[in-house]
Structure 1
Amino acid sequence: MPPQSPSPRTVSASMEQIRQDYAERFPGWTQQLITLFSGKAAAGQRPPWWVTPPIVNWFLTLLQLALAVLGSAYAVRLLGWASLAVLPLTWLTTVNAVRKLQITWSHHAVHKEVSGNRHVDKVVQVVSSAVALTSNYEDIFEDHVRKHHSRKVFTTLTDPDAGYLVYLGFRPGTPVEEMRARLRWMPLSPRLHLPSLLYRVRTNFVTATWTRRIASTVWVALLVALGVLMDGAEFTAAFVIPWFVLFHWSALFQTISEHPYLAFDGPPASRADYVARTWGRFCLEPLPERDAPALRRLCQWGRWLLRTVLVQTPARFGVLASDLPAHDLHHVVPADHAWHLAFWHRQTHIDDAHESRMEKRELTLAGAIRHVLHGISESPLAPAEPPARAA
């Protein structure tokens, strides 16, 4: 991929067309629900009156987390092996809540976009990151605000997210098929989980302020107490698997689909180049053909339902939690601090023919991952000789 990024490889039909199809074929009362599920608003759609204010939503996230943990624990206690039919739902709900504490509340609190009061937002960040056992305020400010958002760093080798991918073995010049194979087994690799776990320990108990260390210690002590009250299977199902294993999976797939990391030989040369390094990721399946024969249409609807439940739902709630589908708006229009309305505000900019042309860069999660892997493989940063296979 050349230094100046082209638009991402397009999906089979543009998201604008797919979303318009949903608007035409589903009842009006479902349209806001479709937007909330997919992250993609319909043309001309405005926010509903019932969007929860951020600070209220933060408390609801904490409640969601508590109920999901209890759901996993009691499913194991009461259902035994039959709990395997329930746990995927409680795990998805748990990892969604923990990820929101990190990528929504901790992230937007650092940007001072939760309550409008910097002291309240600091409390939100400390509590959210301590409960999720993720980056403390100082670490996330340094890595995310000062580095990732900097035009001199964005998507380059010095971007912390790009460095994370290189560490995992996604190195410039690596053949795409090799990286796909690596991505398939990476969720089971200690190379993903051990460093992630060590970082979470370091940011909570080593680099953190004393206030944050105390908060983290109190929280971990509470988790230990709960572990004593539960048996091993309950604690593993309620905490270990969703809080760590699935959390690390979510972070991996989110990062490797977020921006075209390592696809350039330098930082963005202009605003147009910067904008081209962002995109939206939406969870919409194309609808079946309107005029297909009845049997074929029935099969297509069955496939649509299966993919919506088994592919798009985990992608939306397990990886692209909260406002992440419209994350490009956060970079393209940073002055828009109403991130909880990002789906609708993004579409308003598209309807108004905003110069960024965000509608030209809309992908599914899988499509975004493909684009990132191709960018890394074709990167001008690739060495003259193919890179050695990572251990």
Structure 2
Amino acid sequence: MSHDLHDSEATLPLHREAMAQFTGKWPTGYRPRWKRRAGWHLTAMLLSLGGGMAASHVLILGPPAFWPLVVLSWMITVHGARKGQLVINHYGVHGKLTGRKGYDRLIVEVVSTLLVTQDYRSYYRDHIKTHHHPQQLATAEDPDMQFLLALGFRPGMSRRALWQCLYTTIISPRFHYLFIRERLTTNFMSAPGYRRLMAGLHAAAVSSLLFYTGSWALWVAAWGIPLLPLYHIAALLQFVSEHRWGRDHPVSTHKHTDHLTFGRFAGDSLPARDLSMRDKMATWSRWTLRLLFLHIPTRLCVLPGDLAQHDWHHRHPGGDWSNAGYERQRDLDAGCPGWHETYEEIWGLDRAIQTVFDSMARSRSLPATSAQSGA
């Protein structure tokens, strides 16, 4: 899709770098004013979690007129939680968070205990050993695909059926039950002994505090809702928009990665300037509604951190992830040396999901591994 948001940004009251950070797409040849480091991302994650929860408490205890604003505080909390899992824990298991494996593992165990998500060992096994394995990405061996299969998404289903499956899954009690069960299992049953002890102490501390203060309802509203159902929905939308599924062409490993991955950016092209007043009002209204109700929630909750540039991460898992947007654009400006194809850009979460569903609709089955399928 041709996109002129950066080319037209002078018409918007937004700083160019702020625009790049929001959309996830950097302008050609542009250099950031300052580069982020791992500590910045860790601090931002903690502030989002704490700030979102604190804001929810204040709003819920305040006048009812302010209660609708809790939706915004929930989004901030979900942003912190998803960034903790998809950025902090993700690069911790890659060994790229602090550069020291022991420290990275400690951070992952603490953050995952707080969020009740996968422990270091199981996350490392699923993500590094399987998801990033070039012969298992986008096959039936991929843990993400296994989860989608368990939810009813099937290769060969029509696009309409896949969308319907997505809508029903979001509100399905079974989906949320499976997600909660998996989170509890990996914390209290399958994790190493020390990790189960951490999870038990965390649960005991939270339960004791809530029992002593009697603030169970407030905890559910301020912490439970964003960290359970909203977190699950954000994760599902990430899974169904991440990359194409199935391997239609038995080609080289690099071409598999080229074809399966793409950039997911937030934003729409600005409406044309030469529209009539009536058309201008209609198109700008639609543009504004998509910004408020699609792109902003997407960037906060579904694609935090470098998730917009996930295609770059698959090509360069050892790269400067703290500045992935800039690094991806720099690689693109250089012609993507060593790769068969340039990067693909998809603007809007809805279009990214449609791209994934198109690939699933074309696939009649998923190979067990690319090696078994002849790749």
Normalised by the length of structure 2, the TM-score is 0.91
From 325, 329, 343, the counterpart of 1:343? 325
CA contact (8 A) 2:96 2:318 kept: no
Q: Is 2:33 the counterpart of 1:44?
A: no
Q: Distance in 2 between matches of 1:115 and 1:222?
A: 28
CA contact (8 A) 2:311 2:343 kept: no
Matched position secondary structure for 2:327:
helix
| Consecutive unaligned residues in structure 2, runs of 5 or more | 368-375
Q: Is 2:18 the counterpart of 1:33?
A: yes
Change (3 A) 1:335 1:292: same
- Tell me the residue number matched to 2:6: 19
From 72, 85, 88, the counterpart of 1:102? 85
CA contact (8 A) 2:25 2:325 kept: yes
Q: Deviations over 1:221-251 (max 9, x none)?
A: 2322343325343122112210000000011
- Tell me the residue number matched to 2:242: 258
Backbone CA RMSD of aligned residues: 2.1
Q: Deviations over 1:353-387 (max 9, x none)?
A: 1144444343421111111112112203189xxxx
Q: Is 2:65 the counterpart of 1:82?
A: yes
Aligned length, in residue pairs = 364
From 240, 256, 259, the counterpart of 1:273? 256
Instruction: Give 1:254 deviation, angstroms.
Output: 0.1
Q: Is 2:287 the counterpart of 1:304?
A: yes
Q: Deviations over 1:254-306 (max 9, x none)?
A: 00100112x33687643112221100100012101122234533443333222
Most deviating of 64-73 and 92-101: 64-73
Amino acid at match of 1:179: L
Matched position secondary structure for 2:268:
coil
Instruction: Give 1:218 deviation, angstroms.
Output: 2.2
Change (3 A) 1:116 1:268: farther
- Tell me the residue number matched to 2:221: 237
CA contact (8 A) 1:156 1:267 kept: no
Change (3 A) 1:347 1:84: same
CA contact (8 A) 2:92 2:105 kept: yes
- Tell me the residue number matched to 1:10: none
- Tell me the residue number matched to 2:49: 65
Change (3 A) 1:48 1:217: farther
CA contact (8 A) 1:14 1:362 kept: no
Q: Distance in 2 between matches of 1:116 and 1:302?
A: 47
Q: Deviations over 1:150-187 (max 9, x none)?
A: 11101001111111111110111222211211111211
Relative contact order (C-alpha < 8 Å, sep 6+): which is higher? 1
From 349, 357, 360, the counterpart of 1:376? 360
Instruction: Give 1:107 deviation, angstroms.
Output: 0.6
Amino acid at match of 1:367: R
CA contact (8 A) 1:205 1:216 kept: yes
CA contact (8 A) 1:100 1:321 kept: yes
Q: Deviations over 1:75-117 (max 9, x none)?
A: 11223x4343211100000011011111111110011111112
Q: Is 2:187 the counterpart of 1:199?
A: no
From 170, 189, 203, the counterpart of 1:187? 170
- Tell me the residue number matched to 1:130: 113
Q: Distance in 2 between matches of 1:54 and 1:378?
A: 40
Amino acid at match of 2:233: W
Change (3 A) 1:288 1:226: farther
Change (3 A) 1:267 1:150: farther
- Tell me the residue number matched to 2:275: 292
CA contact (8 A) 2:188 2:196 kept: yes
CA contact (8 A) 1:154 1:268 kept: no
CA contact (8 A) 1:147 1:153 kept: yes
| Consecutive unaligned residues in structure 1, runs of 5 or more | 1-12, 384-391
Instruction: Give 1:208 deviation, angstroms.
Output: 1.4
Q: How do 1:101-180 residues align onto structure 2 when only pairs under 5 Å count?
A: 101-180=84-163
Matched position secondary structure for 1:45:
coil
CA contact (8 A) 2:130 2:142 kept: yes
CA contact (8 A) 1:41 1:344 kept: yes
Change (3 A) 1:59 1:216: farther
CA contact (8 A) 2:268 2:287 kept: yes
Q: Distance in 1 between matches of 2:365 and 2:20?
A: 38
Matched position secondary structure for 1:257:
coil
CA contact (8 A) 2:89 2:108 kept: yes
Most deviating of 348-357 and 117-126: 348-357
